[in-house]
Structure 1
Amino acid sequence: MLHDPVYREKYAQNLKREFPRIPLYGTSPADFWHWAAWGEALMALHIGYEAVAPFPLARTDTPDEKARAAGLPPKAILRADPAAGCITLDTETTLRGIPPEAWTYKLGNRCALDWVLDQYKEKKPKDPTIREKFDTYRFADYKEKVIDLLACVTTVSVETVRIVAAMKAAGR
């Protein structure tokens, strides 16, 4: 019920300052079980997001000759292009075929895919001593894990948008 867009819109002001209250939708037990099934599906998606079937994203790998010649890993980019439905991970790898629905699912004010990309960006500490001794994170070490995570998060996003749309269309 708390994911229902109609509920969120109707009680937007209350939700800013109070605990949410659960409304009773429908007039029959069948209506209750319909909403319960949506809730169960959303919980399964969000709690077990790493175990969902990965979305079939098209991966394109083009070798970065300059980086390879210099003996370096490809440069991390981690940029999303919702209009084109693609994510550029680094100078070699691009993921395509991300549906528009995946970009509409938000965690707070950001798309779930953008949130994942932001968490894996390489950030350099300002202090030179810390940068020298403790800056060991390299995106190339986690690239395959991030690709798998993005495919799973895409599935979760698309399914969540589908379920929420069904909630919005349901009678109350």
Structure 2
Amino acid sequence: MFYYVYGLLHSEDYHERFADNLSKELPRIPAVKKAEDFWAFSKAGRALGDLHVGYEEAKPYAVELKLPKGYTYDDLEPEHFGVEKKWKFGGTAKDKDKSTVKYNNFITITGVPLEAYDYVVNGKPALEWVMERQMVKTDKASGIINDANDYAIETMGDPAYPLKLFQRVITVSLETMKIVRSLPALDI
């Protein structure tokens, strides 16, 4: 039942049909008419649950990294992976290129599939959540510094963790949308 609900809550048809209600109240879970639809939503919900819970184990999506002339990925030192302020999209402010993301002053990510931005969590693409959270930020009220680099090195033991997380979330986003788009029409 849990996976049926999880699958149903990811249905694009469900979101469209109940958009007005979802903006005002808790979601209501309708019963589908056919058993095969129930099992399709349940199977999709299980696959989505496994994917979302296990995002740390997802295979990093193969993006291209633009590095300064003469550098290869193997030449990079831990300090090259340090994130700074908010990541930036390529292009201009008026004409953003979301297939390109400036990770830091040393690394630019290219080849990000635009379809990966279709997976939205709480009104924002999951990739943009990563970009927003994996940086160095000082809380104005308390002065506390939230440094994603410290977490990457001290907790994860990998200075490239923010970059690899971004690549994993690309994989998770693409796989999520593949599953969501394979869901049956909502016949209730």
TM-score (norm 2): 0.70
Tell me, what secondary structure is at the counterpart of 1:90?
Answer: coil
Which residue of the partner structure matches residue 37 of structure 2? 31
**Alignment of structure 1 residues 35-54 onto 2, 5 Å:** 35-54=41-60
Gaps of 5+ in 2: 1-7, 70-78, 91-95, 153-158
Give me the identity figure in percent. 29
**In the TM superposition, what whole-angstrom CA distance separates every residue of 1:61-98 from its partner, at most 9, and x where no partner exists?**
216xxxxxxxx967835213463512111111112221
Write the letter of the residue equivalent to 2:107: T
Gaps of 5+ in 1: 64-71
- Conservation of the 8 A alpha-carbon contact between 1:104 and 1:161: yes
Find the aligned partners of 1:138 and 1:23 in 2 and give their Cα distance.
Answer: 41
Q: CA deviation at 1:10?
A: 1.5
Whichever structure has more helix as a proportion of its residues is 1
Write the letter of the residue equivalent to 1:170: A
Tell me, what secondary structure is at the counterpart of 1:59?
Answer: strand
Change (3 A) 1:25 1:115: same
Find the aligned partners of 2:15 and 2:120 in 1 and give their Cα distance.
Answer: 14
Which residue of the partner structure matches residue 145 of structure 1? 161
Q: CA deviation at 1:54?
A: 1.6
Change (3 A) 1:99 1:26: farther
RMSD over aligned Cα atoms: 2.9
Identify which of 65, 75, 82 aligns with 1:59.
65
Which residue of the partner structure matches residue 94 of structure 1? 108
Tell me, what secondary structure is at the counterpart of 1:85?
Answer: strand
Change (3 A) 1:10 1:40: same
Which residue of the partner structure matches residue 135 of structure 2? 121
How many residues of Structure 1 are paired with residues of Structure 2 in the alignment? 158
Find the aligned partners of 1:138 and 1:115 in 2 and give their Cα distance.
Answer: 13
Q: CA deviation at 1:138?
A: 7.0
Larger radius of gyration: 1
Find the aligned partners of 2:102 and 2:26 in 1 and give their Cα distance.
Answer: 40
